[in-house]
Amino acid sequence: MSKIREEQVKQAYADWFDTRGMDVFMTLNTERTLAPLVSREKVVLESAEVKLSKMLIEMFGRAETVAFGRTEKGVARRKLYKKNPKFRIHRAVAIHTDANKTHAHIRVKTLDGWTQAEMISLLREQWQCVNRAKVESEYHYKAEAVKNSMGNSFYITSEETDKNKINENSIDMWSSYISKQ
């Protein structure tokens, strides 16, 4: 892919993020080791990216259950109305891997009727549960209101060129929730 094409792809992602109204930026690292799961035959069964993605799915599921509550019968509204975007936390997740660690950069849209501080607190609490963090640390969870939307968008998609070379996408579609509306 040419350098001009790479910049166009990054710009398209950045523009797309800006139209979604995602106003909280988070960086998550794990306390647990996310080494790839390998079989006896030395075949990678589950990569560190997949493990982190599953942790994020669990974290957002827990947060949605807390945010939207349960029905009188005890069923989580997020499960009952899983196709209704009103009962989901909208987010775009990019999982990055370097030599030592796998981490996630996430843009989240604050829920209606919630402040950014409340949203950050809810997600921090759920991440600590999923990550089994013993101490609160900025290394494991850093979240803030988006100050420079375009800069955050470029940062999230910084690995796009490398991912495209192996026919992948920098946005993790398993743990992201992006409504068509």
- pLDDT of 16-70, one tens digit each? 767 777 888 888 877 555 666 666 666 666 777 888 888 899 999 999 999 999 8
In a domain, 15, yes or no: yes
pLDDT at 98 over 60: yes
Which structural domain range is residue 102 located in? Answer: 3-34+45-165
Identify which has the larger pLDDT, 68 or 163: 68
In a domain, 40, yes or no: no
Give me the mean pLDDT over the 75-97 stretch: 85
In a domain, 123, yes or no: yes
In percent, the amount of the chain with pLDDT more than 90 equals: 17
- Residue-level pLDDT at 62: 93
In a domain, 170, yes or no: no
Find the CATH number of the domain harbouring 89.
Answer: 3.30.70
Give 89's contacts (C-beta < 8 A, 6+ positions apart). 60, 63, 64, 67, 108, 109, 111, 177
The 10 Å Cβ neighbour count of residue 29 is 19
- Residue-level pLDDT at 111: 92
In a domain, 58, yes or no: yes
Instruction: Please give the tally of structural domains in the chain.
Output: 1
Q: How confident is the model at residue 86 (pLDDT cuts 50, 70, 90)?
A: confident
- Predicted TM-score (pTM) of this structure: 0.77
The whole-angstrom separation of Cα 128 and Cα 118 is 16
In a domain, 181, yes or no: no
In a domain, 177, yes or no: no
- Residue-level pLDDT at 92: 84
For tokens 């850093």, name the residue: 142
The whole-angstrom separation of Cα 159 and Cα 95 is 9
In a domain, 148, yes or no: yes
